[in-house]
Amino acid sequence: MAFHSKELAKAYWRENVKLLLSLLFIWALVSFGFGILLVDALNQIQFFGFKLGFWFAQQGAIYTFVVLIFVYVYKMNRLDEKYDVQED
Amino acid sequence: MDIRTWTFLIVGLSFVLYIGIAIYCRAGSTKEFYVAGGGVHPIVNGMATAADWMSAASFISMAGLISFMGYDGAVYLMGWTGGYVLLALCLAPYLRKFGKFTVPDFIGDRYYSQTARTVAVICAIFVSFTYVAGQMRGVGVVFSRFLEVDITTGVLLGMAIVFFYAVLGGMKGITYTQVAQYCVLMMAYLVPAIFISIMVTGHVIPQFGFGATLADGSGVHLLDKLDGLSAELGFAAYTSGTKSTIDVLFITAALMVGTAGLPHVIVRFFTVPKVKDARKSAGWALIFIAVLYTTAPAVAGFARLNMINTINGADSQGTEYSEAPTWVTNWEKTGLIGWEDKNEDGRMFYSGDERNEMHIDRDIMVLANPEIADLPAWVIALVAAGGVAAALSTSAGLLLVISTSISHDLLKRNLMPNISDKMELRYARSAAAVAVCIAGYLGINPPGFVAQVVAFAFGLAASSFFPAIILGIFYKRMNKYGAITGMVSGLLFTATYIVYFKFINPAASVPENWWFGVSPEGIGTLGMIVNFAVAAVVCHLTPPPPQDVQDMVESIRYPQGAGEAQVH
């Protein structure tokens, strides 16, 4: 066991899952939410020449996806170090 | 120089480059052949993953589809990128820590069962062959249009190139060749997009031009203009589309989950040195993919406007056929554009109602785009090289999955566990060679169902692999009974629905008959839910997995001690 105790292993996993769920919430919000379910409401708003809902569906969601992955990489590296389970 | 000379020159140069790289990076061991020795830098791996992922369909067909679908095209844009978030967060780091070569490896070990491994191998081979047939066809189409050779010669040429570097180089050769192919295909996509964006809107960056006002001095936004034209010509508004909300939702989800479950994408994350790199690599891959995927809808918009304007004329009265631009007559020869003078006024007219006289194949939009916009010959040649690069890079990745499945999962892990590394490598190479020939045959004699089975590939990946892998990582209690029944029921459900609506009774495939209004393209999402539900129920009625399997799940959950991919 690489963790110093069983409790630490549990705590690490819990924090990991919490981070995953919050990032996946944003993932679903921008794509399924803004891009699909709320698209008609958001289309009432003009955004740099786009209807906002349309922009999310064809541009904005993709940019958000990229940001999400890099936020995840950064936070996970910090988490690994906090629990001392990073790679050598 | 004319287009043909330019095409020979540019496509020829790109081939020399690919072969040169393959000779320089040939594989010496099974480890180099399967996972490039596990030492690929995450940015390089990201670029190779992007080239692997963006197929002839992404390059040639996607913008064309969007330009005819308008808003509905978002299912491809979000579906084929959103899967990478799932991959990076839920799959890649854990599978890398697991540290074997293939997806069936994981399924087989995690669910301590040869049956599970065999089911996974069969799915992997089926999905990959489905895909690769389409790629070879793409090579053929590009060659036949731009080099004016027939499709068979085009496919044979493509086969020879792929054969050479996939069989020789394995994953190592493929990875570095794909980096070169990424550069070629991106340049080929961006150069005409930028040219056209400047012509239509005055913006250098297509993503901005997409929302900008037109450069003709009218002050109208491009998208408003397209909505206006659509209304005038009897199409649904460009920014709202025609599919129902629920269908858009399910198709998007099926493509996302399917992407995350495709074996040739997952295997990419076995090639980096560390768990940390697997996470990062998925991010880089998505950046490289996003460059094309955010440009594509802009290209779609410009292309639609240019196409309508050249065919219907600036005054929307139709253009005299005798004055038709050369791209119309060029593509007419391939049968992908057709004109029938219904009102016998000698003018072409394109619309969404009974006035329509044109038949325009969606696949030609990207390839014809530079011709429609009157760009120089070398740009058109570059697009041809890009299309070939996209098709070759994806075929190579798929062929590798097929050969690995056979030599490693089927022979080494199942039928003949005692063969040496050298023998296994020889089997891997022969399997790749046989796979190239079958793929080539399917490219020359395409079965009529190639287009339909793409939905199949994604639905299959979404309803079988994805839940099995996710549960394997995040639910320690999941046992082999749950996983196998889940995979089989998800698979059967999805396959039955698709087979019924696509093959047995295609006439019935209308929204009124679909379950909950979900089309066969989106049914993989329901299949996935079925899989999860069945797995959860069965798992609670059967004994938990053995302790050593539970310990293994425990150990893949943190990065320390990942080491390199293991040869068992």
Complex ipTM: 0.94
Phi, psi dihedrals of residue B320, rounded to the nearest 5°? -55, 130
Q: How many CA atoms lie within 13 A of B66 on its CB side?
A: 30
Of B77, B89, B207, the CB nearest to A20: B89
B213 forms beta bridges with B221
Tell me the residues of chain A between 34 and 73 that have a Cβ less than 8 Å away from chain B.
35-37, 39, 43, 47-51, 54-55, 57-59, 61-63, 65-66, 68-70, 72-73
What's the CA gap between B294 and B273, in Å, rounded?
30
Q: Which of A36, A37, A51, A64 to mutate to test the interface with B (most CBs of B within 10 A)?
A: A36
Q: Which of A65, A70, A74, A81 to mutate to test the interface with B (most CBs of B within 10 A)?
A: A65
Q: pLDDT above 90 covers what percent of chain B?
A: 33
Would you call B84 an interface residue with chain A, using a CB distance cutoff of 8 Å? yes
DSSP string for residues in B148-162: ---HHHHHHHHHHHH
pLDDT, average across residues B176-195: 93
Given CB atoms, is A12 within the 8 Å cutoff of chain B?
yes
Q: What's the pLDDT at B300? A: 94
Instruction: Give me B473's structure tokens.
Output: 């990582």
CB atoms A87 and B290 under 8 Å: no
Confidence of residue A5 (pLDDT cuts 50, 70, 90): confident
- Asked whether residue B192 carries a pLDDT value surpassing 80, the answer given is yes
pLDDT in tens, B104-117: 889 999 999 988 88
Closest CA relative to residue B392, chosen from B84, B14, B6: B14
Q: Which of A26-30, A32-36, B166-170, B184-188 has the lowest mean pLDDT?
A: B166-170
Interface test with A, best of B85, B475, B553 (most A CBs within 10 A): B85
Q: With 50 as the cut, is the pLDDT of residue B567 above it?
A: no
| pLDDT at res. B107 | 92
- Contact between B293 and A62 using a beta-carbon 8 Å cutoff: yes
Whether B249 contacts A61, CB under 8 Å:
no
CA-wise closest residue to B427 among B20, B132, B91, B34: B34
Residue B84: its chain A contacts at CB < 8 A?
A: 65, 69
Choose the closest CB to B560 out of A17, A32, A85: A85
Give pLDDT, residue B454: 67
Provide CB contacts within 8 A for B422, sequence distance 6+: none
| Residues B487 and B527 sit within 8 Å (Cβ to Cβ) | no
What's the pLDDT score for residue B563?
62
Residues in chain A: 88
Of residues A17, A35, A85, nearest to B78 (C-beta)? A35
Residues of A in Cβ contact (< 8 Å) with B85: 23-24, 27, 65, 68-69
What is the Cα–Cα distance from B416 to B411, expressed in whole angstroms?
Answer: 5
* CB-CB neighbors (< 8 A) of A59 in chain B: 207, 210, 294, 297
Task: Tell me which chain B residue has its CA closest to the CA of residue A17.
Answer: B474
Question: What residues of A are in contact with residue B220 (Cβ under 8 Å)?
Answer: none
Does the pLDDT value for residue A30 go beyond 50? Answer: yes
Evaluate if residue B27 carries a pLDDT over 50.
yes
Chain A with chain B: Cβ pairs closer than 8 A: 137
Q: What is the pLDDT of residue B568?
A: 45
DSSP-derived secondary structure letter, B351: -
Confidence of residue B317 (pLDDT cuts 50, 70, 90): confident
- For the four alpha carbons of B516, B519, B525 and B528, in that order, the dihedral sign comes to positive
CA–CA dist B439, B201 (Å, integer): 42
Model confidence at A75, pLDDT cuts 50, 70, 90, reads very high
Q: Answer yes or no: do B283 and A66 touch at CB < 8 A.
A: yes
Is A26 within 8 Å of chain B by CB? no
Dihedral of alpha carbons B207, B210, B215, B218, sign: negative
User: Is A7 touching B (CB cutoff 8 A)?
Assistant: no
CB B384 within 8 A of CB B364: no
Do the chains contact at B77 and A20, CB–CB below 8 Å?
no
Bridge partners, residue B360, by sequence: B337
Q: Are residues B348 and B319 in contact, defined by beta-carbon separation less than 8 angstroms? A: yes
Is residue B203 classed as helix, strand or coil in its secondary structure? coil
Residue B120 scores a pLDDT above 60: yes
pLDDT of residue B455: 65
Cβ contact, residue pair A62, B474, below 8 Å: no
Nearest to B274 among A51, A69, A87 (CB): A87
pLDDT band at B453 (very low <50, low <70, confident <90, very high): low
Confidence of residue B250 (pLDDT cuts 50, 70, 90): very high
Q: Is B346 left (phi over 0), alpha (psi -120 to 50) or beta?
A: left
Mean of the per-residue pLDDT values of chain B: 86
Q: Which among B222, B223, B558 is the nearest to A2, CB-wise?
A: B558
Contacts of A88 in chain B (CB under 8 A): 560
